[in-house]
Structure 1
């Protein structure tokens, strides 16, 4: 969907996504010392707000203005400071090595566009910093529920590992994870790709 379609979707509900952070992101990132964080395609800001509440200096970017406005409103209500940006992640140019954490959650784009996102995300991670990504896995088509039905938009741990290594990161964890989803037919499970990587610290001369 384009930005206007997402704007209409966000305008049609109080919250399209949960107010709580993604549970995998919260579990993986809770112990990191706060620094500068970048939330790419942040939606209504649930992960950005959670990070800000943990003391991170967060920049959150999404091209759906309605979603960004919702995040900004919640931040004001909760007394949280987030740098909200309305913009397309494909055109965004974050500062090189500018963030201790880059977060990407459920950004499902065609392969050529995702390659651009992974490259800019890898460049944005400071030496020793973390990239965390969670998204719909291709196995979800046969073994899960929900999510995009176009296999070209879905991730796999193996493909994402190769991409991030080629972009200069060291992959620490790459696997498929399952999460419960409540449907009209009862509780089902979705299959996601989870990847955590870091930017190596250069050796001193």
Structure 2
């Protein structure tokens, strides 16, 4: 989806994907050091970034939709935390070499041509020894119809994900079914790819 399309989606009343943290992030956040510096990519309306901020982390959230980031800032204020919003097209704009302790991306679905650039952004943002946490829908999700893009072109191949984490210490890799109830766009049993990796 283009920036304007995401702006239109996030302009809907309420939070499209809800305000509760993604289950994978909730389960795996324990791997992060205390008071970690965390970058959340394709963060949308900010549910994961805000959760991580409530856990005491210093969080920057990247998304191409300013509307989504504005809603995230509103959610953060209600939770009594701060999250730094950065509007950027992560498939075209480099975030640069940063010193983050972790990078997190949940359901950051972009065309296959942009996926390598996006993943490079994630890895570049993390310092050696830092962590990468990713959950996305796999191409098999098309058979489930419970959320995510209705196009294989916008879904992920597990072989690609394994290639992107080559050279890292892979702490967790999962390719299979998971139940997600997140707003009205992720509704039930789906098929995901998860990875937790430590950058070498």
TM-score (norm 2): 0.89
1:12 aligns with 2:12: yes
Distance 2:118 2:142 in 1: 23
Task: Tell me if structure 2 keeps the 8 A contact 1:178–1:191.
Answer: yes
Post-superposition offset of 1:144: 5.7
1:122 aligns with 2:123: yes
Distance 1:146 1:38 in 2: 24
Distance 1:29 1:177 in 2: 20
Post-superposition offset of 1:181: 5.1
Task: Tell me if structure 2 keeps the 8 A contact 1:161–1:171.
Answer: no
2:24 is matched with 24
2:76 is matched with 75
Post-superposition offset of 1:7: 1.1
1:162 is matched with 163
1:94 aligns with 2:95: yes
Distance 2:121 2:188 in 1: 34
1:60 is matched with 61
Distance 1:190 1:196 in 2: 19
Task: Tell me if structure 2 keeps the 8 A contact 1:122–1:131.
Answer: yes
Post-superposition offset of 1:169: 2.6
Coordinate RMSD, CA, aligned: 2.1
Task: Tell me if structure 2 keeps the 8 A contact 1:40–1:62.
Answer: yes
Distance 1:121 1:188 in 2: 28
Task: Tell me if structure 1 keeps the 8 A contact 2:90–2:121.
Answer: no
Return structure 1 stretches of 4+ with deviation > 4 angstroms.
none
Distance 1:49 1:74 in 2: 7
1:173 aligns with 2:172: yes
2:110 is matched with 109
Shift of the 180–72 alpha-carbon distance from structure 1 to 2, 3 Å rule, reads same
| Higher RCO (C-alpha under 8 Å, 6+ residues apart) | 2
Distance 1:71 1:143 in 2: 29
Distance 1:30 1:170 in 2: 17
Higher gyration radius (CA): 1
Local SS of the residue matching 2:139: coil
Distance 1:181 1:53 in 2: 22
Distance 1:84 1:152 in 2: 28
Shift of the 144–9 alpha-carbon distance from structure 1 to 2, 3 Å rule, reads closer
Q: 1:80-104: CA deviations, max 9, x gaps?
A: 0111112211244334241111011
Local SS of the residue matching 1:101: strand
Post-superposition offset of 1:58: 0.5
